[in-house]
Structure 1
Amino acid sequence: MKGYIHSFESFGTKDGPGIRFVLFLQGCPLRCLYCHNVDTWDLKNKKYMLTPEETMHEISKVRGFIKSGGLTVSGGEPLLQPEFILELFKLCREEKIHTAIDTSGYLLNDRIKEVLDLTDLVLLDIKHIDPDKYQALTSVELKPTLEFMEYLSKINKPVWVRYVLVPGYTDNEKDLKAWAKYVSNFKNVERVDILPFHQMASYKWEGLGRSYELKDTPAPSKEDIKKTEEIFKSFGLNTLT
């Protein structure tokens, strides 16, 4: 069995606690307007095919540096490849390496539940709380992600929820309050990360010949970020930017 892999980062600092080896898997069912990894969408465009054992060999090269962190599997949508992650996380458990998954929460089945049993932390992207706006932003329905969050709560899995702040799309005050109210219901949410939108991936869209609808969208101002942070904190959320 081999994983379809886009790339990996040896010293990630923004994808879970500590310094982490971040593995970006290929393939994603979402089509987010602001996606910064648009080159991961198509499964067939993988750059590498590695077995779990070969992947562990890559991780072992920086084992000394990730003692305070661990492994984060991202994408794309990593849970498109649950069999690969399951075998990889079994190896990580044997080596006492902390594991995290960065996911949209769009997929959930029995095999993914097996993966979650071996996962130490879930980084869950709840991209909007309004169903219609969520679908316009991602091209898929919101309901599966909410069901995923409810399942994580049921098994008491530690979660960091991530929110990309995009001017004109995800910064409406009413929506922010509704989002924060929803997330605050879950005791297993350890923190919320506010991720400011940026234009650093626009070249990827251009390189792939894809139309980038957000090319004229500005980054959120410091005031916008602070306002969002204050709203989230008013609902008792532990918020970081």
Structure 2
Amino acid sequence: MGLENKKQENTGEVKGYIHSIESFGSVDGPGVRYIFFLKGCHMRCRYCHNPDTWDMNGGECMTAEEAFQKAYRYRTYWKDKGGITVSGGEALLQIDFVIELFKIAKSKGVNTVLDTSGNPFKKDPEYLKKFDELLSYTDLILLDIKHIDEQKHKDLTGWSNKNILELAQYLSEKEKDMWIRHVLVPGITDDEEDLRKLGAFVKTLSHVKRFEVLPYHTLGLFKWEQLGIDYSLSEVRPPSKEEFDKANQILETENYTEYLD
């Protein structure tokens, strides 16, 4: 059963299934963020540092109002730029909860950020109606593009990237502010040709306020071991400073027009 349709019994209020909370986040959106990491993700990214969020069940359960009040106690730390971020797992799997939470937040003037990999996105009219409602309460989207090449994306995550790229284009058409993120994994996501194609794609988008390259790390490896899941990247090392700087240079300075066919 998908989380997006679960309702609180009798009252009809939407419940969120929350894996964990970070009270003073500093990287998932502007300013100081109160971050909800929601349960559930369909993708199986080989470098995922939160495989314990994959399961659609479990976690702390609360209504959007309860979640907001929990976060709102920290509002004095947010000042002008901070606010609430919803991440995952994959937050869009609990879109009803996120809509309700952000609706409450905006009624109180709180900045809202959605951190997503875009996997549930689809151009179905019924889905888009709900997604557009979410956008109306969302100040910023953090969109993680795992890989620009579709087959390599499937090898890395188990899923196609077509709808994720469609999501990026849809956000651009809607003139929604976004940060694009890309994890640099040596030997997997650092191919120069792929980086140029990714850069070319991002250059076609409007309202991209930041393009971040994030270095691969193994801080979540212990979780794979605890869950008894084979970690296929155990021999992969984090990128060196030289590799990281080179990737940033390619994405920032290359002429991408030849890749826009």
TM-score band w.r.t. shorter chain: over 0.9
Does residue 3 of structure 1 match 2:6?
no
> Which amino acid letter does the alignment assign opposite residue 51 of structure 1?
T
Instruction: Quote the Cα distance in structure 2 between the aligned partners of 1:60 and 1:115.
Output: 20
Higher Rg: 2
Partner of 2:76: 64
Which is worse superposed, 122-131 or 54-63? 54-63
Q: Secondary structure at the match of 1:195?
A: strand
Cα displacement string for residues 155-184 of structure 1 (whole angstroms, at most 9, x for unaligned residues): 100010000000010010111111101111
Structure 2 length normalisation: TM-score? 0.88
Question: 1:103–1:124: 8 Å Cα contact kept in structure 2?
Answer: yes
Deviation at 1:235, TM superposition (A): 4.6
Alpha-carbon RMSD across the aligned residues, in angstroms, is: 1.3
Partner of 1:85: 98
Gaps of at least 5 residues in structure 2 are 1-13, 122-126, 257-261
Does residue 207 of structure 1 match 2:219?
no
Match of 1:140 among 139, 159, 182: 159
Question: 1:184–1:235: 8 Å Cα contact kept in structure 2?
Answer: no
Instruction: Quote the Cα distance in structure 2 between the aligned partners of 1:236 and 1:57.
Output: 48
Percent identity, aligned pairs only, is: 46
Instruction: Quote the Cα distance in structure 2 between the aligned partners of 1:98 and 1:228.
Output: 31
Partner of 2:10: none
Deviation at 1:47, TM superposition (A): 2.0
The 5-angstrom pairing of residues 51-200 of structure 1 reads 51-67=63-79, 68-108=81-121, 109-110=127-128, 111-200=130-219
Partner of 2:61: 49
Q: How many residues align?
A: 236
Instruction: Quote the Cα distance in structure 2 between the aligned partners of 1:185 and 1:95.
Output: 34
Partner of 2:124: none
Gaps of at least 5 residues in structure 1 are none
Deviation at 1:35, TM superposition (A): 0.4
Deviation at 1:112, TM superposition (A): 2.1
| Structure-2 change in CA distance of 1:56 and 1:95 (3 Å) | same
Instruction: Quote the Cα distance in structure 2 between the aligned partners of 1:197 and 1:180.
Output: 19
Does residue 40 of structure 1 match 2:53?
yes
Cα displacement string for residues 105-140 of structure 1 (whole angstroms, at most 9, x for unaligned residues): 122323122112211000001111111001100101
Q: Secondary structure at the match of 2:114?
A: strand
Q: Secondary structure at the match of 1:228?
A: helix
Q: Secondary structure at the match of 1:65?
A: helix
